[in-house]
Amino acid sequence: MDRESELFQCGHRACGGCGPALAAKLILKGTGPNTIVVASTGCMEVFSTPYPETAWGVPWIHSLFENAAAVASGIESSLKKQGRDEHVVCICGDGATFDIGVLCISGAFERGHDITYICYDNEAYMNTGIQRSGATPYDANTTTSPAGKCSTGNKRPKKDMPAILAAHGASYVATASMAYPNDLIRKVQRAVNTPGPNYIQVHAPCCTGWGFDGSQTMKIGRLAVETGLWVNFEMIDGEVEHVRKVANRKPVEEYLEVQKRFRHLFRPKKNEEEIAKIQAIADHNAGAFAVDRN
């Protein structure tokens, strides 16, 4: 590895096979060095910056859980006043994005700040004990949506943040997966070079919170796309374009049964009814985004 060419360095303290860590490396390949990163509290902040160490090869600032977009707005305004041209990029988890920080994100996008907001979506609050967030998928077991005799896990659907931010008038909104590196890098390059507020949501499997071996992170990421439970697309001025097509879409069971957070759907006996509901979610995604390649 040429360490000098990497903007997100190895030697950080993430779990082996951490999806968000790989996402950070790929995101910075897309932004390039002329970048200031604003990070909320979250897994990435904890494992990448244990004082006095840092994995970041670009200027990086930590805010609170809720206000990364507000801090980025201030930085962008100051740079504009000084005639500087650095990219201002928020990199925040789904808890800070979907739940706690949504007010400040809405304000930044409504005011039209020239920032790129990137959510690494590992579908729960992982660094504080695997509590559910607005990004947690249906029937996932978390510590605040535990599966048991009276419950099959999280009963709420995943919040549609891309649609919410497209409704704010964002010129560029995209979803991506760290399991498709070149696609993620290209989308980040496009976002930071598109004027105004832009949003990318990156699927980033968490081996600890989801319950799988760290050697399987890329496989899990690809299975999400191959089953239709995650769709990679771009939205330009509110119109969906460039959807990643899937040939011979796989049944959702192949994605669910390899993760401990869905194990209750298969033990002590297979829960056909609940698995059918999740398959219906994937089928709806496939229809809404025309995912299937005929």
DSSP code string of 89-144:
EEEEEHIIIIIITHHHHHHHHHHT-S-EEEEEE-SSBTTTT-B--TTPPTT--BTT
Please give the model's pTM, rounded to 2 decimal places. 0.97
Q: What is the pLDDT of residue 4?
A: 64
Q: What is the pLDDT of residue 182?
A: 98
Is the per-residue pLDDT at 1 higher than 60? Answer: no
Strand, helix or coil at 216?
helix
pLDDT digits (tens, 9 = 90+) for 19-28: 999 999 999 9
Mean pLDDT of the chain, nearest integer: 97
Cα-Cα end-to-end distance for the chain: 40
Q: Order of strands across the sheet with 172-177?
A: 60-62, 35-39, 87-93, 116-121, 198-203, 172-177, 234-236, 239-241
Tokens standing for 80?
């504009």
Q: What is the pLDDT of residue 2?
A: 60
Is the per-residue pLDDT at 67 higher than 70? Answer: yes
Distance CA 175, CA 159 (A): 14
**Mean local confidence (pLDDT), 254-265:** 98
**Residue 5 — very low, low, confident or very high, per pLDDT cuts 50/70/90?**
confident
**Mean local confidence (pLDDT), 269-276:** 98
Distance CA 68, CA 64 (A): 7
Q: What is the pLDDT of residue 294?
A: 75
Is the per-residue pLDDT at 207 higher than 60? Answer: yes
C-alpha closest to that of 200 among 98, 117, 135: 117
DSSP 244: P
Q: What is the pLDDT of residue 214?
A: 97
**Mean local confidence (pLDDT), 190-211:** 98
DSSP 262: G
Residue 1 near residue 38 (C-beta atoms within 8 A): no
Tokens standing for 39?
């990070």
